[in-house]
Structure 1
Amino acid sequence: MQMLDGDVVLILGGGSGLGLGVARHFISEGASVAIFEVSQTKLDALKAELGPDVLLFKGDVTSVDDLTACRQAIVDRWGRLTSLVGSQGIFDGQVPLRDVPVERVSSLFDELFHVNVLGYLLACRVFLDLLEASDGSVVLTSSVAAYAADGGGLMYTASKGAVLSAVRQLAIEFAPRVRVNGVAPGAIADSQLQGPKALGLDGVKQSDIPKEAMQEGFKRLALMPTLPTPLDYAPVYAFLASRHNKVVTGQTVLLEQGSLNRHMLSSAGVSGGIGTPLG
């Protein structure tokens, strides 16, 4: 039996990157999948790959009308929804606050928080009744940036910290019918997160960072230094979304390859301790 046999899952931002990796894995685990994506170009490409069994819906996560129309399309196709997975997001180009023109701070904040936070909250509200009817689950995407400085710029880090808090609060509000959890990935190979329009970086993607430079950074910090792909993260999403998860709610799983378990002294060549050995 596959982990998601009989499940109906909606993946927000499933057209590329992390969301697409999650979608592919969920399909392989037996789920019926709907993908909500703002880019028609990405949806056109997915239609050829995934075929008619996957419901592809074009919409903006900050639009209640788009989310409501997607809800109706899911009801028309399957009559139910068992899991909502939030994977959409944009990043801020890691631009320090001091380098953001003061007249653009508000628009940058609004852009990132609308997509990275409000989009999740609106979807949770729109689909809550379906999830309650199925004793379902919500899995939202935070980031290692919510736990460690330099995981992103200020606005990205703050938005991912907000998701961390939202998971805890929603788990209380939606209990006992709906489980709410999060996943906080670290770096992702070939990430398709785009930069913000507020800074003129909407044509820039995280994957534009040279992979070799990212890999070298991981080798210095991570205990598992292979740069993960979206498919490497997907099984954690699958477990949290599935009915096999009977013990986890209100939690965010931090997936950072041991990079926060930092080995400062040994990496600097200090070994054997200092002073007189004990014993």
Structure 2
Amino acid sequence: MTDLTGAIVALTGSGSGLGLGLARYFRTLGAKLALLDISADKVVALQRAFGEDTLVMQGDVRDIDALKAFRDATVAKFGGVDCLVGAQGIFDGNRPISELPLEKIPAAFDEVMRINVLGYILSAVVFREELAKRNGSITLTASSNASYCADGGGLLYTASKHSVLGVVRQLAFEFAPAVRVNAVSPCGIADSDLRGPGALGLEGESQNDIPKDSFMAMIRKVTLLDHLPTGAEYGPAYALLADPKQRILTGEIIMADQGLANRPIISAR
């Protein structure tokens, strides 16, 4: 098991689903946590669950001032930061582009791309200097299907997750050698609260609303392991990349896809 005892981890999008699962997992490894989420209610719940040893702040990853305040508070509380983990995200409801009202596409595009892509870029730039002081790392969240192929979401989500691969590779190049930059590509999260863009009126829809039997049937159809992981179960992959002792990986994306990319083409399972 990776040991993160004393490592200082700043985690965005930590209020539910993947981010909350990662926060819980990192805590079991001994990490010191700084948690950011946009939801005031989730921030209250995080503070109650994690206690005073954890920094919890409300903020929007699209807001440079909020990110700077989060960075400064992390450094003030813990003395630095070893790893930045980006777990925030927004889904497009798997809506085909032909079904979206033309006049709503620009605003929906901006909303999805600003959260899923710009938020990662801004947080990386804001935290870079502090991470470099400790030869730290950045771990972002791609997608095992939407970052590599079609039908892992609608066009807006797929475009955003393809973009994350480019962000990881270019930042790894530009931030080397002081800061490593990698990503994990999850495939389905059992306890996800991923929501849709307000520009499309989908902010009230959550992946948690999908009946678990239906979600599991889809997972069985496209993966090999017949398992729908919780956010915490992706923790070991993120922890590997966050480990300050790990000095050999940068520009890499871990495909945590339950065998999605290795599913049968001809043979029936």
Give the TM-score taking structure 1 as reference length. Answer: 0.94
Using the alignment, how far apart are the partners of 1:190 and 1:59 within structure 2?
22
1:262 corresponds to? 263
1:185 corresponds to? 186
Task: Give the greater-gyration-radius structure (CA).
Answer: 1
Comparing 90-99 with 143-152, which one deviates more in the overlay? 143-152
2:206 corresponds to? 205
Q: How does 1:44-63 map to 2 (within 5 A)?
A: 44-63=44-63
CA contact (8 A) 1:167 1:182 kept: yes
Using the alignment, how far apart are the partners of 2:79 and 2:225 within structure 1?
42
> CA shift at 1:2, angstroms?
6.0
> What SS is found at the alignment partner of 1:158?
helix
Using the alignment, how far apart are the partners of 2:9 and 2:3 within structure 1?
13
Query: Structure 1: which 5+ residue stretches go unaligned?
Result: 269-279
Q: How does 1:35-74 map to 2 (within 5 A)?
A: 35-74=35-74
Quick one: which amino acid aligns to residue 59 of structure 2? Answer: G
2:226 corresponds to? 225
1:75 corresponds to? 75
Query: Structure 2: which 5+ residue stretches go unaligned?
Result: none
CA contact (8 A) 2:196 2:203 kept: yes
Identity of aligned residues (%): 48
Using the alignment, how far apart are the partners of 2:27 and 2:80 within structure 1?
17
The count of corresponding residues between Structure 1 and Structure 2 is 268
- List per-residue Cα deviations over 1:108-163 (Å, max 9, x = no partner): 10000000010111111111110000100000001121112111111001101111
1:272 corresponds to? none
Using the alignment, how far apart are the partners of 1:188 and 1:141 within structure 2?
13
> What SS is found at the alignment partner of 1:36?
strand
Using the alignment, how far apart are the partners of 2:2 and 2:94 within structure 1?
39
Q: Where does structure 1 differ by over 2 angstroms across 4 or more consecutive aligned residues?
A: none
> What SS is found at the alignment partner of 1:43?
helix
Q: Give RMSD over aligned pairs.
A: 1.2
Quick one: which amino acid aligns to residue 161 of structure 1? Answer: H
Q: How does 1:82-97 map to 2 (within 5 A)?
A: 82-97=82-97
Quick one: which amino acid aligns to residue 162 of structure 1? Answer: S
Comparing 221-230 with 111-120, which one deviates more in the overlay? 221-230
Give the TM-score taking structure 2 as reference length. Answer: 0.97
CA contact (8 A) 1:3 1:239 kept: no
